Structure 1
Amino acid sequence: MNVAVEHIATDQPPDESKARDLDYGWQGGNQIELLENGEAYFPKVFDAMREAQREILLETFILFEDKVGHELKGILIEAAQRGVKVVASLDGFGCGELSPAFLGELAQAGVLVQMFDPAPKMLGVRTNWFRRLHRKIVVVDATVAFIGGINFSADHLADFGPEAKQDYAVQIIGPAVSDLHHFALAQSGRQVRSRRGWRRRQQRPALWTNADGEGLVRLIYRDNVQHRDDIEEAYVHALSKAQKRVVIANAYFFPGYRLLREIRNAARRGVHVQLIMQGQPDVLLAKLAARMLYDYLLKDGVVIHEYCQRPLHGKVALVDDEWSTVGSSNLDPLSLSLNLEANVLIRDRAFNQQLYERLEILAKNHCQTMPENRKPRLWLWRLTVGFLVFHVMRHFPALTGWLPAHKPRLKPFQSQAHDR
């Protein structure tokens, strides 16, 4: 069986001129629904795909050949066979174990499968570790969109067992969907038609808005060209304006000094700052890195919880009573300096309160809280080492760019799967 699978070997979209300078402003009047874990997410996104009439755009870091992956495959095949345009952009590392047969069934049905930056194994080990397509976005018929941290894998369901992940996404219906649709088209390399209400802006929209109204949403993203720091800047802006409360739930927490300073400064001026970190990590190194920063934050009044029920995979935060963010970006060097990421910023009191209540349940019932009087043993040494490690990782793309094997390649190419 000959199967054409388009491989995009690049850390940018194929048509860089279309995708490198997209800025999206605040859109009001959206309906935003918080989806916690696969139990809430998969039924919503699968139902939307089953009802698709024209188009499904999907980006994901991980797709496994498990019960979730097979259900998704069946839905996409059925949609393509009834004439829906289906584009699936998959990361070459996170989806690197997908079999030719699995991809072949999708391609034969008419699904356009794009594998981002694939690479052959060396001695049985995958080599394409860095600059991953880490976004998780689904847009259906340009009318409903999903974005968050949930991959298409069974480990986002509670029945997976003790290693099941705790995670979040949102469903959006309303004007902001047009921005997510436009972005997903541009990033997938498809032709983007100009549309009313969008333009390439000379001045970027503000990361913070004081506009009145509920359901305000703004799409932000991180790439390796002109939007390297947008997500980090959004956190810094929000933290600098915090007056009442801050809650950050993040799987992999090892931010740079600017973000750490704003977290500490918020706590110093009386803001109740809570961090929910991994207590049962799926990557032990991530927990060790985060703990290097605990003493620095605890001494200024930051409350740190470690979620111990199962691995935390969330990437969410809220500030005061209105501002929230949900997306794919962790607060670590991979997400803030290397990967392609996307978040939404949300100004909505009802959503903020719902997210706050869900995170409070985690903090109160399923976490251990680091003691305030934790002895600050070697905290200066830990901070110094952490600072050095972060900035080595931050400049890693430039360092690896000197090596021919890591130079960004923008040219798409076609690959034929083996006959089976």
Structure 2
Amino acid sequence: MAVVRCLVPDGPGATGEPALSRGYAWGMLPQIPDSMATTAKKWAMRVVLAFLAVQTAVVGFLVIFDAIKHRQRKTRPNFPHPGVFQGPVADSEVTIYTYGEDLYAAMLDAIRGAKTRIFMETYIWKSDDTGLQFKNALNDAAARGVEVFVVYDGFANLVVSPSFFKFHPKIHVHRFPVMRPSRVFSPLRSTGLDHRKLLIVDDETGFVGGYNIGELYATEWRDTHVRITGPSVWDLRQTFAIVWNAVGGAPEIPHHSPHTWDLHIRTVNNIPALLVYPIRGLYLDVINRASSHIYITTAYFIPDQQILQALLAASKRGVDVRLIMPENSNHVLADWLSRGFYTTLLREGVTVLRYRNAMIHAKTATIDGRWSTVGTANIDRLSLTGNYETNLEIHDRTFAENMENIFDIDSGNCTELTLADWQKRYVAARISETLLRPLRPLL
């Protein structure tokens, strides 16, 4: 019941006191006793705390349960390797890698053959034998006079000894800090993690995709990366330079204009420091344009309402929408949040494919046999409106054909989920999905 206090006099000689102190005046409502208001606030707080406690308990249980399952399935992953695909796109040459060992060999060859400059940026960099190979190759390059710039994310590498990131003294290094003072004064510009994975050598060869650096990713994860040689490498060089200069790296990397302007290959970058997040808009635009098919592979599928509705609308108008996601990813909470969307997707005819026996970490899409993207951004809030990310947008039918072939091979290692099967899941699973739903905007 609302409380209205009024200083308008209700008769001659009124003192101007609140009318409620002298009885009800016209249009006034009785005051709720302070004790009742206090009790209501306490109950509201208890309800909120109880809900948070239940959420915490559910998350804790899922983490423990997943850890037990992970120990039980500690066997060598067995999954298909689609292979290496190569072909021209306009005046550049583009190679698609789908297995870590193949990619790392190509990246290390490029670093060891560098003559003038290396830009390297990664999210996770393990201090294992694979990580050490990259570190040594960069140190050797700096020792022979190559200018080397390195960027890595501090939060993602908290478990890595700081001593591992001590490089040759001539290497320029920027570590995205875990804690930044600017979070207090400009939180929107300071929330992003550096989730990008880039390597540019001599402004002639560039790599981008989902692979981090480490032995785990070399042989046990299914991911996708691309290498570009030719004039389109300029886009990746500029991508690195913009972020390096924006976050205060030194020395400043000068801007170079491209020799050619090729619209067949374009980089799209989310840069929180500049409040720029175009990758989400890119997905919305191409999904709305689709007329034949949409094939998406993503490690974590937690879309916002606009992207979800765009996919559902595409399916309703007859577009063949297919999603590949891991059956069990490396983040159990992300898995359960993704599962909360399955019923809605399946009811509208979207094909949900769950990748088996290994973690699929690729961030790719191909649409209508003419448009494709490969990059670092997942379809979740962290990637699309939070982190530093880079995706390649490629308009080329041959490249799209290669991406469709890869999707078909990956689909053969998937279990297709049906609505009938999904509705048979345990009641406890349904309750968990509902309780975790408020966490969607956080991931």
For Structure 1 versus Structure 2, the TM-score category normalised by the shorter chain is 0.7 to 0.9
- The superposition leaves residues 57-77 of structure 1 with CA deviations (integer Å, 9 ceiling, x where unpaired) of 001001111111111011111
Could you say which residue in structure 1 is the equivalent of 2:384?
336
More relative contact order, 1 or 2 (CA 8 Å, 6+ apart): 1
Contact 2:365 2:372 in 1 (8 A): yes
Structure 2, unmatched stretches of 5+, are: 1-88, 181-189, 246-250
Could you say which residue in structure 2 is the equivalent of 1:418?
none
User: Deviation of residue 341 (structure 1)?
Assistant: 0.8
Taking structure 2 as the reference length, what is the TM-score of the superposition? 0.71
Contact 1:34 1:351 in 2 (8 A): no
- Alignment counterpart, residue 172 of structure 1, candidates 224, 228, 235: 228
Counterpart of 2:328 in 1: which secondary structure? coil
TM-aligned CA distance change 1:218 to 1:385, over 3 Å: farther
Could you say which residue in structure 1 is the equivalent of 2:137?
75
Query: Cα RMSD over matched residues?
Result: 2.7
Determine whether 1:116 maps to 2:176. Answer: yes
Determine whether 1:139 maps to 2:193. Answer: no
More helix by share: 2
Q: Percent identity?
A: 28
Write the letter of the residue equivalent to 1:306. Answer: R
- Alignment counterpart, residue 150 of structure 1, candidates 211, 214, 222: 211
Asked which structure has the greater CA Rg, the reply is 2
Contact 2:295 2:322 in 1 (8 A): yes
TM-aligned CA distance change 1:176 to 1:38, over 3 Å: same
Write the letter of the residue equivalent to 1:40. Answer: D
Counterpart of 1:331 in 2: which secondary structure? coil
Could you say which residue in structure 1 is the equivalent of 2:310?
262
Aligned length: 337
Write the letter of the residue equivalent to 1:371. Answer: T
Q: Distance in 2 between matches of 1:383 and 1:259?
A: 20
- The superposition leaves residues 81-100 of structure 1 with CA deviations (integer Å, 9 ceiling, x where unpaired) of 10001111010012233334
Following superposition, which runs of at least 4 residues in structure 1 exceed 6 angstroms of deviation?
Answer: 377-387
TM-aligned CA distance change 1:262 to 1:51, over 3 Å: same
Moved more, 275-284 or 90-99: 90-99
Moved more, 129-138 or 41-50: 129-138
Could you say which residue in structure 1 is the equivalent of 2:440?
390
- The superposition leaves residues 155-194 of structure 1 with CA deviations (integer Å, 9 ceiling, x where unpaired) of 1122xxxxx2111110011222112112212312342434
Counterpart of 1:151 in 2: which secondary structure? coil
User: Deviation of residue 265 (structure 1)?
Assistant: 1.1
Q: Distance in 2 between matches of 1:310 and 1:228?
A: 33
Counterpart of 1:183 in 2: which secondary structure? helix
- Alignment counterpart, residue 161 of structure 2, candidates 94, 99, 113: 99
Write the letter of the residue equivalent to 1:56. Answer: I
Could you say which residue in structure 2 is the equivalent of 1:353?
401
Taking structure 1 as the reference length, what is the TM-score of the superposition? 0.74
- Alignment counterpart, residue 127 of structure 2, candidates 42, 62, 65: 65
Could you say which residue in structure 1 is the equivalent of 2:325?
277
Q: Distance in 2 between matches of 1:101 and 1:359?
A: 40
- The superposition leaves residues 275-302 of structure 1 with CA deviations (integer Å, 9 ceiling, x where unpaired) of 0011022111111111100111111110
Contact 2:377 2:391 in 1 (8 A): yes
Could you say which residue in structure 2 is the equivalent of 1:56?
118
Moved more, 377-386 or 189-198: 377-386
Write the letter of the residue equivalent to 1:390. Answer: R
